[in-house]
Amino acid sequence: MNISKVGVLGAGTMGAGIAQVAAQAGHRVVLVDVNADALDQAEKNFQSIFSRLIEKGKMTKEQMIETSNKISYSSSFDSFSNCGIVIEAIVEKIEIKHAVFSQLEKIVSDDCILASNTSSLSIASIGSVLKHSNRVIGIHFFNPAPLMPLVEIIPAVQTSESTLKYSKALIESWGKVTVLAKDTPGFIVNRVARPFYGEALRIYEEGIADFATIDWAMTAIGGFKMGPFTLMDYIGNDVNYAVTESVFSAFYYDPRFKPSFTQKRHSEAGFYGRKSGRGYYDYAQGVELPKPIEDTELGQQIFDRILVMLINEAFDALFLNVATREDIDLAMTKGVNYPKGLLQWADELGLDNVLSKLEDLFSEYGEDRYRPSPFLKRKVRENHLFNSK
């Protein structure tokens, strides 16, 4: 297949970002949204983005004109008729995606790939409404799509080998780093990263530390670029909470993924984060952000607790063949900018040390959320470094 035209459904931040990536890679792109205002805003944003790239010397005026001319805008699904691939980036509601994919199949050619940018919904379910479901695949970009290098590629049980092979090659030709994930809730990143948010919220709810101190512990001691509360405010509490609920229900209410009432209340109150002006922090002009308690011993305890929970989730993802060891570590460093891969980190800390901390938590709380992964226990029993052959 030689795709010359790419379709993107949804002119929000993510959809527009994907359209930009495809256009800058040399494809003709049609960006479709039923909301004309969203299309107008996307076009204005492109001009602003490209102007900044010119100012930084990363794009010439000629390239700006060429890229801009490659993107067309439409409110009609019929505009997808001659696309080789359509990537959907709309609301995370399965019933809406079912309706959209059913409609798309009536318009596109028989060999057009139909992809979803969903972050947590089942690709198999999305494709179940298609007559030719072997064309469906998950292609999950991270926000902002033009800047974040990682893309998760998720074949469903129906996906053909040719669809998988071509989709992976196409996205890599756009300069992206791809990882292959099994079609399970949250895929790699949104599954493995849940404790970064969930355990931080739990530590806060227990009164161990406030938002600022937890964020400080994870950045100053842990080396993360953003603390969990700063990051949730950046993502949007409404978005992050929706993903948490989705993963929790999709895992048949496994306690490891249990949502937090603190985050639920912030979302219900409209405290979404930066985009609403208030989240865990107040972003109003002139308001000073709270200062953390820079207690090194407390910070180390907070960091250790969250880190071992993250490592445990990475081990469980590997145990259940969600992805390879290499792809799990690559996903966490390239998708959410972790300082290092969690499985590599586990080796550096010592697997017996990680297991001991998890067993202490499990013993103290008696909750299933702290149960150590069987794979971690097995590796400790075998008494060798996880990265050794």
- Residues marked active site are found at 140
Q: Look up tokens 């609403």; give the residue.
A: 276
> 207: Cβ–Cβ under 8 A, 6 or more apart, which residues?
none
The interaxial angle of helices 61-70 and 13-24, nearest 10 deg, is 120
Which residues face 6 on adjacent strands? 29, 85
Q: Are 163 and 3 in contact (CB under 8 A)?
A: no
Round to whole Å and give the CA distance between 314 and 181: 13
Q: Are 177 and 332 in contact (CB under 8 A)?
A: no
Q: Look up tokens 């709380």; give the residue.
A: 365
Q: Are 116 and 91 in contact (CB under 8 A)?
A: no
Q: Look up tokens 């060429």; give the residue.
A: 66
Q: Are 295 and 305 in contact (CB under 8 A)?
A: no
Q: What are phi and psi of 94, to 5 degrees?
A: -60, -35
Q: 88: helix, coil or strand?
A: strand
How many other β-carbons are positioned within 10 Å of the β-carbon of residue 72? 14
- Got the DSSP string for 207-274? TS--HHHHHHIIIIIT--SS-HHHHHHHH-HHHHHHHHHHHHHHTTS-GGG---HHHHHHHHTT--BG
Q: What does DSSP assign to residue 282?
A: B
